[in-house]
Amino acid sequence: MKLYLNFERALTAAETDALRKFIKRRGQREPLQHIIVTISFCGLEMMVNRHALVPRPETELLAEEGWQFLNKLLARRVTQARNSNDKTKIGDSYNSSIRALDLGTGTGCIALALAVNCPGAKITATDVSADALVLAKENAVRNGVAERIEFFQGDGFASLRKMEFDLIISNPPYVPSAEIATLQPEVRDFDPHAALDGGSDGLGFYRKISAQAKPFLKPDGKIMLEFGDGQAEAIRTIFEAEKWIVEAVKEDYSRRARILIAKK
């Protein structure tokens, strides 16, 4: 786009050669994000590579729902502390008493967006992939929030010590296994399959989260999950079967159901 807007600028031979290589790679269906190495997510620059799912615009809506909830919760607790005239509680409320868990962090995009947009929160991020965590940590350093995010390697809640969170948020794998082969080459051939494969019906991770998350969520906490097209009612049923209260199902930019919000 910058080149197009400066059409009078002549490229050097080296620049022309580099551009030709980029175009050839894109012609082979390599994602543009991998070619230019970075992507903007909620206004933050994120490095991307083959070790993690390239963040989608819809996930920005999930992150925004998350930090808006955390900020409202923090404000409410501070107000309660002030009303009690307890200065210690006020200090504690500002001092990272708000905690959020990002399950399957990938590039770290959701965790970073929460940390940047809710400075009073402490973020925990997990991923089963060691390579994805290396990328997420690099992104945390790049965006100046590394000290406020704890990273753990492990499958779901298995890597966590006993702790409770105000928010559990995730964009888990939700593509049915048999459908991965039908995806666009940019996704099928370049995104890690572990970040796509949601099991035979695409709902395996939602069953696991709904069954295991309650001990990790505070009484007034919420869980927020992204899901795929047409999965809303099935996921609602899964969570209600585990006695969760489904508060809302939010739509994405194309008016498709995309985010489930629930509480205990």
Provide the pLDDT confidence category of residue 94 given band limits of 50, 70 and 90: very low
Percentage of the chain lying above the pLDDT 70 cut? 95
| Region of 42 on the Ramachandran plot (φ > 0 left; ψ -120 to 50 alpha; else beta) | left
Q: What domains are there in the chain, each with its CATH number?
A: 11-263 (3.40.50.150)
Task: Give me the pLDDT at residue 182, please.
Answer: 96
Rounded distance, CA 224 to CA 111, Å? 13
Instruction: Give mean pLDDT, residues 94-109.
Output: 86
Residue 252 has pLDDT above 70, yes or no: yes
pLDDT tens-digit series, residues 135-181: 999 999 999 999 999 999 999 898 888 889 999 999 999 999 999 99
User: Measured on CA atoms in the order 223, 212, 228, 42, is the torsion positive or negative?
Assistant: positive
pLDDT tens-digit series, residues 19-72: 888 888 888 888 888 888 899 999 999 999 999 999 999 999 999 999 999 999
Residue 110: name the closest of 153, 146, 67, 143 by CA: 67
Residue 139: how many CB atoms within 10 A of its CB? 27
Q: Which residue has the higher pLDDT, 105 or 160?
A: 105
Residue 123, burial from CB neighbour count under 10 angstroms (0-12, 13-18, 19+): buried
Rounded distance, CA 96 to CA 118, Å? 10
Provide the mean pLDDT of the chain.
91
Q: Which pTM does this prediction carry?
A: 0.89
